[in-house]
Homo-oligomer: A and B are copies of this chain.
Amino acid sequence: MPKSFSFRLIATNAAARTGEIATAHGLVRTPAFMPVGTQGAIKGVHHDDVHAAGADIILANTYHLMLRPGAERVAALGGLHTFMRWPRPILTDSGGFQVMSLSALRKVEEAGVTFRSHLDGAMVELTPERAVAVQILLGSDIAMQLDECVKLPADRNDIERAMQLSLRWAERCKRAFESAALDRALFGIVHGGDDQWLREQSARALTDIGFDGYAIGGLAVGETPEVMRKVVAETAPALPADRPRYLMGVGTPADLLAAVARGIDMFDCVLPTRNGRHGLAFTRFGPINIKNAHHAGDPRPLDAESRCPAARDFSRAYLHHLFKAGEALGGTLLSVVNLFYYQDLMAGARAAIAARRFADYVAETEEQWMAKRDFPPP
């Protein structure tokens, strides 16, 4: 069938790109940041606020949803879009990363990975075919291949073994996905740790299999920012220019700008919501730890010119009080502030790339972070 899924490059500026992904549930403007809805909810934030922040697409975790409430249950309830009432694009990961990070007991074999559920201790098998089937049941617009993710630093042999296994799983995922003949997209995931040769091998082999988009996996797993940037810079050019490139699990605002400059189109990360719950606000003036005592008497908002009502309407003193008093509203408000900030950062990147001034945009943005001119209070 003709696919609703497509990717259109609108403009490039050096290696940076801006474009548009079309899906059956709507458009995704790239570079795009995907808020993480691990269990079918963005932690502490109402969907309406996620949408108001400007998110075109969210990410949901296959691992969590297959264990609870279960992929078959979600399918019976109309799929994830209906279940969680997010009628816009959704990307699901394959579950592989959470198996590695959350399950105490797991066994990786050629067939797939067997793991003990962190919820009830049941043994669960996740094969490439099951990972695809689960994502089809969930109904996501973009599914990810099952992969094996290795924490860095790691032994090169182990990195290569996992990379080769992930390639064989990529082929099986592609086959399973094609046989379902659905109007959705499947992305392959490049592995190879911090080794340029392995990364290029992986990128080439995945391109030969042929995917709707390509992710760079196995980063944001303990390496330094320098290693991450080097790997992205070396890997992105090895991927087809006419397909979206997705850097998984990244990152800070600075990480995002650095990766966009190297040709990345998509991101997901829990930082905006996790840091928000812990009292850290991302703002144009750099990060603000609202729990610091000097905010207690500060009547100024986080950013009077923000597009985000929570950043504009509430005083730092009030936000500080909410955290000191243990009121959950504080974490919710700062999560919303951060989701707006991440979306605005990406919107600014898109506009700057279209105007062929992305390097200037990065310099201006970083200068404003460093100046911290609005902080601490005068």
**Interface positions of A (Cβ within 8 A of B):** 39-46, 64, 68-69, 73, 76-78, 83-85, 296-297, 299, 313-315, 317-318, 321-322, 324-325, 327-329, 332-333
Contacts and interface: CB of A to CB of B under 8 A. Distances in A.
A317 B317 CA distance: 39
A45 B329 contact: yes
Given A40-B321, A68-B321, A84-B318, A329 B78 contact: no
Contacts of A77: 297, 299, 315, 317-318
Contacts of A327: 39, 41, 43
A70 B41 CA distance: 36
A324 B120 CA distance: 13
A327 B314 CA distance: 25
Given A69-B321, A297-B76, A324-B68, A44 B329 contact: yes
B332 A85 contact: no
21 contacts: A39-B327, A40-B318, A40-B321, A41-B327, A41-B329, A43-B327, A44-B332, A68-B321, A68-B324, A69-B296, A69-B324, A73-B296, A73-B297, A73-B317, A76-B297, A77-B315, A77-B317, A83-B317, A83-B318, A83-B321, A84-B318
- The residue among A73, A84, A321 with the most chain B CB atoms within 10 A of its own CB is A321
Identical chains bound together, number: 2
A315 B83 CA distance: 7
B43 A328 contact: yes
A291 to B, nearest CB: 13
A85 B321 CA distance: 13
B44 A328 contact: yes
A15 to B, nearest CB: 38
A135 to B, nearest CB: 18
Given A77-B299, A296-B69, A328-B328, A313 B85 contact: yes
Given A41-B325, A77-B317, A332-B332, 5 more contacts: A43-B328, A43-B329, A77-B299, A83-B318, A84-B318
A351 to B, nearest CB: 30
Nearest to A331: B328
A40 B39 CA distance: 30
A275 to B, nearest CB: 16
Contacts of A43: 327-329
Contact of A85 (B73, B314, B325): B314
A325 B322 CA distance: 24
A11 to B, nearest CB: 37
Contacts of A314: 85
Nearest to A309: B48
A256 to B, nearest CB: 25
A121 to B, nearest CB: 17
B83 A332 contact: no
Contacts of A322: 40-41
A153 B348 CA distance: 65
Contacts of A299: 77-78
